[in-house]
Chains A and B, each alone.
Chain A
Amino acid sequence: MRRPEFGALIGALSIFVLFAYFDQSGQFLKLGGIARWTDVAATEGIMAVVVALLMIGGEFDLSAGVMVGSSGLVLGLLVTKVHMNLYLAILLTLIFGGLIGLLNGYLVVKTKLPSFVVTLATFFLLRGFNLGFVQLWTGTVRVDGLHNAKGYQGIYRALATTVWAPNQFNVDIFWWVGVTILGSWVLTQTKIGSWITAVGGDANAARNSGVPVRKTKIGLFVTVSLAASFVGIMQCIKFDGMQASQGVGEEFTYIIAAVVGGCLLTGGFGSAIGASIGASIIGIAFIGISFANWNTDWNYAFLGGILFAAVSVNTFIRRRAERAKK
């Protein structure tokens, strides 16, 4: 009961059963159906895991969603407009992501402003740039045509292809599982994990104990932005291009997945595996709603309901965990 992901697991099972019951397509329980929702869960899940780490460290990153779009656009422009080598372009895109994360982190620890405000500014700056810059350069709101670039097939096989025909499981699932294992390992097995939890729980006490609070926080922001760049690259390769508005609004989906997975909004408590289970719930719900022939406009209302339920359960679990003997 004390584990943060406990509530999420119960939630995932309930929602799975719910949509299995309402399924109209006959596909939901088949491998092909599972391939559909795991694909959604994978892209959400990679981000949810790193966003969970950041939230456990006591911070938010509202620019995480739009960074996916920005990175895809950077990659797309470098390849199709600058005609840069694909591998080099991917490397530069990741560096771009790292730098934005560094900027977010540095501004947060330097100004001591809430990260909510700092990254909200980054969010809108990037959102504006994505649209303005791409239109200025290409005259459209979309960058595409990467498939002609040398090495595209190899990258596609690594990041975006599907396996196990005819079920079409996307390889992003493997990346998702890998990121989840890595995130969970760092959080539970390494000293960095202790530090992340400590800076989110009580930054002052952590500093007094000798934890490098600033470095830990900046490191988390860089990790989130790097992951966003990675997902942006994945999507740009998968869809052979990028919309200028891609990723906007996703930042809240990541936060919801992390919170559903047991992360506290106040920091200091949470789980990487939980965040991935949270992402699975979102995947199951989104695909389940369409398989049930419900209007997909209800997706977001559904997310809201899940979030509300999850926060209630989490509050209960936290009270149990920190209840002091009087």
Chain B
Amino acid sequence: MRTPLLQLKGVSKRFGSVIALSDITIDVFPGEVTCILGDNGAGKSTLIKVLSGSHTQDEGSFSIDGEEVVLTSPRAALDKGIATVFQDLATIPLLSIWRNFFLGREPEKGFGPFKKIDKALAKEVTRTQLLEMGIDIRDPEQTVGTLSGGERQAVVISRALYFGARVLILDEPTSALGVKQAGRVLKNILVAKSRGIGVIFITHNPSHAYMVGDRFYLLNRGKLVNSFEKSNVSKEELLRAMAGGAELAALEHELNSTGEAQ
């Protein structure tokens, strides 16, 4: 039996009398994409906040490499190798790609008051790291604002991986993007997966999830209502489970019959 890289067991979170999450159990394995699916209000954001250290669960356990941990801040999560890529990507549009890549963690050379950024190193690392993500930037001095949404996300992901992330949480990374850009993002996810990262992909889009996911957790009203592994679920089943099964079947039937009537 493999030990999950990250595991939630029976996790609950309440805000006053509101139960945001109840009895959530999730396994994340390295080199796998774990999808968390749910509609708006299903409890996805609360779950992300628990995973990224912004909230601490009220009940249940949070383990990394089989060891129980208590995360009290995003910084603590980051120190454990859990990096979160938020919807509004943490990049500065007018700053160059390499400065964004190393922002807050600049490599320096020289000493005392003459310390300066090791630009050659920073640019080279940025270029090679992005190349591994499948993005060939000719000039790391280019501003991030000139990149597309998917490329910007690749910058954020490669930065997280370079600085030692082992678990990557992606919060609705494809929601605001067109088809082509969403493709770019899914590619980013597969690159991270191939590098042995445990990817947590949070989305309300089951088709995107099915394309890259290895295991799927369905969240509804704060509860885990279903879970699948890629090997034992078809895309249609996943779609149906996500949309509430019977309801979608009824809708489909209705649409088909109107189609026939015309």
Q: Do A and B actually bind?
A: yes
Q: Which A-chain residue is minimally distant from B78 (CB atoms)? A: A210
> Measured between alpha carbons, how far is A10 from B151 in the docked complex, in Å?
35
**Do the beta carbons of B95 and A322 come within 8 Å of each other?**
no
Contact of A206 with B116 at beta-carbon distance under 8 Å, contacts A211-B103, A321-B145, A324-B146 already known: no
Instruction: Kindly identify, within residues 94 to 138 of chain B, every residue whose CB is under 8 Å from any CB belonging to chain A.
Output: 94-95, 99-100, 102-106, 108, 115-117, 119
Please tell me which stretch of A84-92, A124-132, A191-199, A234-242 contacts chain B, meaning at least 4 of its Cβ atoms lie within 8 angstroms of it: A191-199
**Do the beta carbons of B148 and A206 come within 8 Å of each other?**
no
**Do the beta carbons of B92 and A208 come within 8 Å of each other?**
no
Contact of A322 with B90 at beta-carbon distance under 8 Å, contacts A190-B116, A191-B117 already known: no
Name, among A195, A204, A318, A324, the residue most crowded by chain B CB atoms within 10 Å (CB to CB): A324
Interface size on A, residues (CB 8 A): 27
Majority-rule SS of A interface residues: helix
Report the minimum CB–CB distance from A316 to chain B (whole Å): 15
**Do the beta carbons of A194 and B108 come within 8 Å of each other?**
no
Inter-chain contacts of B102 with A (CB < 8 A): 194
Q: Which A-chain residue is minimally distant from B108 (CB atoms)? A: A191
Report the minimum CB–CB distance from B101 to chain A (whole Å): 10
Q: Is B162 in the interface zone, CB < 8 Å from A?
A: no
> Measured between alpha carbons, how far is A191 from B103 in the docked complex, in Å?
8
Among A190, A194, A324, A326, the residue within 8 A (CB) of B95 is A194
Inter-chain contacts of B108 with A (CB < 8 A): 191
Contact of A197 with B95 at beta-carbon distance under 8 Å, contacts A190-B117, A210-B104, A210-B105 already known: yes
Inter-chain contacts of A204 with B (CB < 8 A): 90
> Measured between alpha carbons, how far is A160 from B53 in the docked complex, in Å?
57
> Measured between alpha carbons, how far is A204 from B93 in the docked complex, in Å?
13
**Do the beta carbons of B104 and A211 come within 8 Å of each other?**
yes
- Please classify how large the interface on chain B is, using the bins under 10, 10 to 19, 20 to 34, 35 or more: 20 to 34
Q: Is B63 in the interface zone, CB < 8 Å from A?
A: no
Inter-chain contacts of B61 with A (CB < 8 A): none
Inter-chain contacts of A189 with B (CB < 8 A): 116-117, 119
Instruction: Kindly identify, within residues 184 to 236 of chain B, every residue whose CB is under 8 Å from any CB belonging to chain A.
Output: none
Q: Which A-chain residue is minimally distant from B115 (CB atoms)? A: A190
Instruction: Kindly identify, within residues 191 to 219 of chain A, every residue whose CB is under 8 Å from any CB belonging to chain B.
Output: 191, 193-195, 197-198, 201-202, 204-206, 208-211
Report the minimum CB–CB distance from A201 to chain B (whole Å): 4
**Do the beta carbons of A325 and B147 come within 8 Å of each other?**
yes
Inter-chain contacts of A7 with B (CB < 8 A): none
Name, among B94, B95, B108, the residue most crowded by chain A CB atoms within 10 Å (CB to CB): B94
**Do the beta carbons of B92 and A202 come within 8 Å of each other?**
yes
Contact of A208 with B90 at beta-carbon distance under 8 Å, contacts A191-B108, A191-B117 already known: yes
Q: Is A269 in the interface zone, CB < 8 Å from B?
A: yes
Q: Which A-chain residue is minimally distant from B119 (CB atoms)? A: A189
Inter-chain contacts of B148 with A (CB < 8 A): 324-326
- Pairs across A and B, CB under 8 Å, 11 listed: A190-B116, A194-B103, A201-B92, A201-B95, A202-B92, A209-B104, A321-B146, A322-B143, A324-B146, A325-B147, A326-B148
Which residue numbers of A lie inside 8 Å of B, CB to CB?
185, 189-191, 193-195, 197-198, 201-202, 204-206, 208-211, 268-269, 318, 321-326
Query: What 4 A-B pairs are tightest by C-beta distance, nearest first?
Result: A210-B104, A322-B145, A191-B106, A201-B92
